[in-house]
């Protein structure tokens, strides 16, 4: 019996740099190569210019009183300034606190207070969010907040100009005081229950994770990485920005927030070799009418992650976008984020049905959630990981940290997984998402994958809803292709009968235009379950599929 355990052996050593020192290496090696392109404004940075602007922002923050260990908040959609602040705070040893662009007043106040943010860099506004007004509303309640710098405002210009006039040797001295294990970033995990927790990450955590994501994607200085996923999350700032700069590659920002046409236009115009997205983003890109008219021939790789990747969508990404080397990554904010990744040489089946194998220098295991013992390969259990990527802890919450990271430093993810004989991992769902119907354990992911084979369904999510007889019943939320006539529960049952076990066939169907999502593209099943209870309570004849 082989246990569900694997370790990531690698001939490539871990990096011992700080983020600032690693950037300096890239600048020295590739000063004239593109580091950053922002499509919305047409602005471009070579590595040399990018380093100069990072230095100016760092010295400007220093001049405003920011020191090592101080928390600096960043609250903005994707923009060049976001990335400049990311690297500038790393140069100072200040701790960057990523603030979700979708946050409203009470969430902003919570993060400002919980992290003790001293300086906040923010956009003035974006879409329907008036950031400046919300900041003014909460300032009196946030005593730690001493300074606010609005991007595009006079404060930002003053910060940069004062930094340019300062002595750059000051940063050299600061750099000598920084260590790779210092905390450098706080990312708040999605608060599906209660307030979110601040995962605290070090230079060593996120620089190495970004570096090895890039290594497995085969990045070098010739690559151009289109990053439509949000910088505020690990997907953007680690797997995107740090993966690129640690290899001398270029980051392309297609738009402040995800837009499928802008994303495709950026890939074509900048000859991007890599494209990132969560499954819903790739679904939108594949449905974009201009797709067939664009030259995307430079694309070879990319990453699909953030939530389970539907098999059919993955196949279309490879076939229609030409991303033959596209990888699936799996992980969580608390692990910097990636723990497993498919490789370019993996078969199509491996890359559409698993999340790959363990990342270099990490350990993974699948354990019985009740006993904690490692299960044999082929049996389901909770996915756990250990190594350089595991967070320092939740910011100022040792008890919640101890609930997630055990005494042996294993991070317990709460995800259900199976490891096969070759070490490939399949994520079967969340422990809390598992549906127990009449004593049968049902994993929604399996049913969702099956529903993608229905000709009219473009996206599907399955949840458990209360049921007097069975304890829980299955409800499918589906998005239909344009022009589809609709779908009732009876019609869906007919499609499933003989192909799924009877207890896996959804009793209810709810057709939607979109699912409730987090800003990182994860489906909020907690919210769906809440809404489903109300929907079913109002349905006169749920058995007809009118739900």
Q: Which domain holds residue 150?
A: 47-179
The residues, ordered by sequence, that sit 6+ positions from 221 with a Cβ below 8 Å of its Cβ are 29, 30, 33, 247, 248, 249
pLDDT at residue 438 in the model: 82
pLDDT at residue 522 in the model: 77
pLDDT at residue 194 in the model: 56
What predicted TM-score, i.e. pTM, was given to this entire model? 0.85
**Comparing 353 with 328, which gets the higher pLDDT?**
328
Is the residue at 289 inside a domain? no
Is the residue at 124 inside a domain? yes
Local confidence band at 191 (pLDDT 50, 70, 90 cut-offs): very low
pLDDT at residue 480 in the model: 96
Least confident of 71-75, 330-334, 427-431: 427-431
Is the residue at 301 inside a domain? no
As a whole-number percent, the residues of the chain with pLDDT over 90 amount to 82
pLDDT at residue 106 in the model: 87
**In 3-state terms, what secondary structure has residue 363?**
strand
pLDDT at residue 190 in the model: 63
Highest average pLDDT, of 43-52, 187-196, 422-431, 463-472, comes from: 43-52
CATH of the domain at 502: 3.30.300.30
Is the residue at 196 inside a domain? no
- 8-state DSSP, 432: G
Q: Which of 179, 195, 220 is the last residue of a domain?
A: 179
SS (H, E, C) 1-50: CCECEEECCCCCCCCCCCHHHHHHHHHHHCCCCEEEEECCCCEEEEHHHH
Is the residue at 188 inside a domain? no
Least confident of 131-145, 225-239, 427-441: 427-441
pLDDT at residue 437 in the model: 87
Report whether 493 contacts 505 (CB < 8 A): yes
Nearest to 509 by CA among 536, 483, 530, 527: 536
Q: Which of 179, 196, 231 is the last residue of a domain?
A: 179
Q: Is 179 exposed, middle or buried (0-12, 13-18, 19+ CB in 10 A)?
A: exposed
**Comparing 262 with 440, which gets the higher pLDDT?**
262
> What is the mean predicted confidence (pLDDT) over 491-509?
91
Is the residue at 478 inside a domain? yes
> What is the mean predicted confidence (pLDDT) over 248-268?
98
Q: Which of 163, 179, 195 is the last residue of a domain?
A: 179
Nearest to 253 by CA among 84, 405, 417, 428: 84
Which residues make beta-bridge pairs with 274?
Answer: 225, 301
pLDDT at residue 520 in the model: 62
pLDDT at residue 193 in the model: 43
Query: Model confidence over 29-63: pLDDT tens digits?
Result: 999 999 999 999 999 999 999 999 999 999 999 99
> What is the mean predicted confidence (pLDDT) over 134-162?
97
- Is the CA virtual torsion 315, 321, 323, 326 positive or negative? negative
Query: Model confidence over 205-221: pLDDT tens digits?
Result: 999 999 999 999 999 99
pLDDT at residue 439 in the model: 75
Report the domain count for the chain: 2
Round the average pLDDT of the chain to a whole number and report it.
93
Tokens of 491: 């019609």
Bond into 337 cis (ω within 30): yes
Q: What is the C-alpha separation between 372 and 370, in angstroms, rounded?
A: 6
Report whether 525 contacts 469 (CB < 8 A): no
pLDDT at residue 541 in the model: 32
Helix pair angle (47-63, 19-29), 10° resolution: 150
Predicted confidence (pLDDT) at residue 141 exceeds the cutoff of 90 = yes
Query: Model confidence over 272-321: pLDDT tens digits?
Result: 999 999 888 999 999 999 999 999 999 999 999 876 677 788 889 999 99
Query: Model confidence over 355-387: pLDDT tens digits?
Result: 999 999 999 999 998 899 999 999 999 999 999
Predicted confidence (pLDDT) at residue 429 exceeds the cutoff of 90 = no
Is the residue at 508 inside a domain? yes
> What is the mean predicted confidence (pLDDT) over 390-409?
97
Tokens of 346: 């993996």
pLDDT at residue 519 in the model: 62
Predicted confidence (pLDDT) at residue 5 exceeds the cutoff of 50 = yes
Provide the 10 A C-beta neighbour count for residue 348. Answer: 12
Is the residue at 465 inside a domain? yes
pLDDT at residue 403 in the model: 94
CATH of the domain at 175: 3.40.50.980
Nearest to 357 by CA among 12, 14, 9: 9
**In 3-state terms, what secondary structure has residue 527?**
helix
pLDDT at residue 88 in the model: 98
Predicted confidence (pLDDT) at residue 546 exceeds the cutoff of 90 = no
pLDDT at residue 148 in the model: 98
């Amino acid at each position: 019996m082989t246990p569900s355990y694997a370790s990531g052996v690698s001939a490539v050593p871990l990096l011992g740099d700080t983020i600032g020192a690693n950037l300096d290496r890239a600048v020295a090696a590739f000063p004239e190569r593109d580091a950053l392109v922002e499509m919305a404004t047409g602005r471009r940075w070579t590595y040399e210019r990018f380093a100069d602007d990072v230095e100016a922002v760092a010295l400007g923050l220093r001049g405003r009183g920011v020191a090592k260990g101080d928390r600096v908040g960043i609250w903005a959609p994707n923009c060049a300034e976001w990335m400049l602040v990311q690297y500038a705070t790393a140069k100072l040893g200040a701790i960057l606190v990523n603030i979700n662009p979708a946050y409203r007043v009470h969430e902003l106040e919570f993060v400002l207070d919980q992290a003790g943010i001293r300086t906040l860099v923010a956009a003035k506004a974006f879409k329907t969010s008036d950031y400046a007004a919300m900041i003014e509303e909460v300032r009196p309640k946030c005593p730690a907040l001493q300074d606010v710098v609005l991007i595009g405002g006079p404060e930002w210009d003053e910060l940069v100009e004062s930094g340019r006039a300062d002595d750059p040797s000051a940063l050299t001295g600061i750099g000598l005081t920084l260590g790779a294990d210092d905390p450098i970033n706080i990312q708040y995990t999605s608060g599906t229950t209660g307030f979110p927790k601040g995962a605290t990450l070090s230079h060593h955590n996120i620089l190495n994770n970004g570096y090895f994501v890039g290594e497995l994607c085969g990045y070098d200085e010739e690559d151009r990485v289109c990053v439509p996923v949000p910088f505020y999350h690990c997907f953007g700032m680690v797997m995107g920005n740090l993966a690129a700069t640690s290899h001398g590659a270029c980051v392309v920002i297609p738009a402040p927030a995800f837009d499928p046409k802008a994303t495709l236009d950026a890939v074509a115009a900048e000859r991007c070799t890599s494209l990132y997205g969560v499954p819903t983003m790739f679904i939108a890109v594949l449905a974009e009418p201009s797709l067939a008219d664009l030259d995307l021939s430079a694309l070879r790789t990319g990453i699909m992650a953030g939530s389970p990747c539907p098999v059919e969508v993955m196949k279309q990404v490879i076939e229609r976008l030409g991303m033959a080397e596209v990888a699936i990554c799996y992980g969580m904010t608390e692990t910097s984020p990636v723990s497993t990744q498919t490789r370019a040489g993996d078969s199509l089946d491996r890359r559409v049905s698993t999340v790959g194998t363990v990342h270099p220098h990490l350990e993974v295991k699948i354990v019985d959630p009740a006993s904690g013992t490692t299960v044999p390969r082929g049996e389901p259990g909770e996915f756990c990981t250990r190594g350089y990527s595991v967070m320092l802890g939740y910011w100022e919450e040792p008890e919640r940290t101890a609930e997630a990271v055990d005494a042996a430093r294993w991070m317990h993810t709460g995800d259900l997984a199976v490891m096969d004989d070759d070490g490939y991992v399949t994520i079967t769902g969340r422990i809390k998402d598992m549906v127990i119907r009449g004593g049968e354990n049902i994993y929604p992911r399996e049913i969702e994958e099956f529903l993608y084979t229905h000709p009219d369904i473009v996206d599907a999510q399955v949840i458990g809803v209360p049921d007097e007889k069975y304890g829980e019943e299955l409800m499918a939320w589906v998005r239909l292709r344009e022009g589809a006539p609709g779908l009732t529960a009876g019609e869906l049952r007919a499609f499933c009968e003989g192909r799924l076990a009877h207890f896996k066939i959804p009793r209810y169907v709810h057709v939607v235009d979109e699912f409730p999502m987090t800003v990182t593209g994860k489906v909020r099943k907690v919210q769906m379950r809440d809404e489903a209870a109300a929907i079913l309570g109002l349905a006169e004849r749920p058995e007809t599929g009118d739900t």
